[in-house]
Amino acid sequence: MSNTTSTTSEIGEFEQDDVSPETHKRGRMVQAVFWVVLLGFLAVAPFFLYPVFVMQLLCFALFAAAFNLLIGFTGLLSFGHAAFFGGAAYVAGHVLKVWGFPPILGIIAGTLAAAAMGWVVGSLAIRRQGIYFAMITLALAQIVYFFALQMPFTGGEDGLQGIPRGNLLGIFNLSDPITMYYFVAAVFIVGFLAIYRIVHSPFGQVLQAIRENEPRALSLGYNVDRFKLLAFVLSAGLAGLAGSTKALVFQFASLTDAHWQMSGEVILMTLLGGMGTIFGPVVGAFIVVTLQHFLSGIGSWVQVVIGGTFIACVLLFRRGIVGEIARLLRISSL
């Protein structure tokens, strides 16, 4: 136990060598401002914006934050995270529609199914590194997509339709948009706080040490593959939480949720907002989903606009929007 504590302390010192007390204090103050803005937005958003649109924002923000836990804090690029997002949506939809489970149990079932898929995919993928890791995740995700297309219970190309929202705890009718919104907001906060706690725990310090210098983490006695696998499972489970919630919001699970393009979109959201930051993926998801929503009238050209926005941000904000804000304020992270 003492050896584990000492090595964790060494990693913590390694991560914070260049962080002065003033910088640390300023960083905490800026984080507090971000929290206030986020919670304030969640409190009043349904009264100024279309509730379903805001719920979509929150689902994709949680999805991007879950993906960032893997790529931003562990250094593992997955091209197949749509498998967990879409797979959980199908599982939750089936449990809610066919088995008649209450909404919370349906979301939990989808989350656990995604975590189980994450364990299977991660166990195979972490045997390789770099582009080989990414290609394995993409290939396995395409297998999940094929099953979603062929299995009878998924509805094939028509998708799984008519998923009931039901009643929360037998009291609150989730068919009411405002009630449903605050339920989704609560799910987002729970998932986002879980990610925040993981990142700021000793476990999160080890993940960041693996990202920065894997040989050093090995030399300190850590089982790197075990930590990578656990990070992969946690990321997959939280992505599944987002996918299950989205299925409940739209009462629909489709092949789009499990398509490789969805994996590309979550990568775009994370890079746009700021990889390796806490709030970056949330900002990136808000930008991408907002552009898709308000520019939907121009058809496929919306992808050109999003691509142009991404190129501009890459050229002007190499660390992502939130990453550049952190650099300008001279703080370690946001």
Q: Give the separation between CA 96 and CA 89, rounded to whole angstroms.
A: 10
And the tokens for 247?
């299925």
Listed as own residue / partner, the contacts of 170-174 with beta carbons closer than 8 Å and 24 or more positions apart are 170/102, 174/103, 174/248
DSSP sequence for 228-276: HHHHHHHHHHHHHHHHHHHHHHHTEE-GGGGSHHHHHHHHHHHHHH-TT
The predicted-structure confidence for 168-202, as pLDDT tens digits, reads as follows: 877 878 888 899 999 999 999 999 999 999 999 99
Query: For residue 179, is it within any domain?
Result: yes
Asked whether the predicted pLDDT for residue 19 surpasses 70, the reply is no
Higher pLDDT, 31 or 2: 31
Total of domains in the chain? 1
Return the pLDDT at 197: 93
The one-character DSSP state at 160 is E
pLDDT at position 4 is: 46
Task: Confirm whether 9 is domain-assigned.
Answer: yes
In a domain, 198, yes or no: yes
Nearest one of 282, 262, 257 to 272, comparing CA atoms: 282
Q: Are 111 and 88 in contact (CB under 8 A)?
A: yes
Any domain includes 114: yes
Indicate whether 268 belongs to any domain.
Answer: no
311 belongs to a structural domain: no
**Position 60 in a domain:** yes
Q: What is the pLDDT of residues 91-144, one digit of tens each?
A: 999 999 888 888 999 999 999 999 999 999 999 998 888 888 989 999 999 999
pLDDT surpasses 90 at 237: yes
**305 lies in some domain:** no
CATH number at residue 6: 1.10.3470
Parallel, antiparallel or unpaired: strands 172-173 and 167-168: antiparallel
Q: Quote the pTM value.
A: 0.89
Domain of 42, in residue numbers: 2-259
Predicted pLDDT at 15 = 46
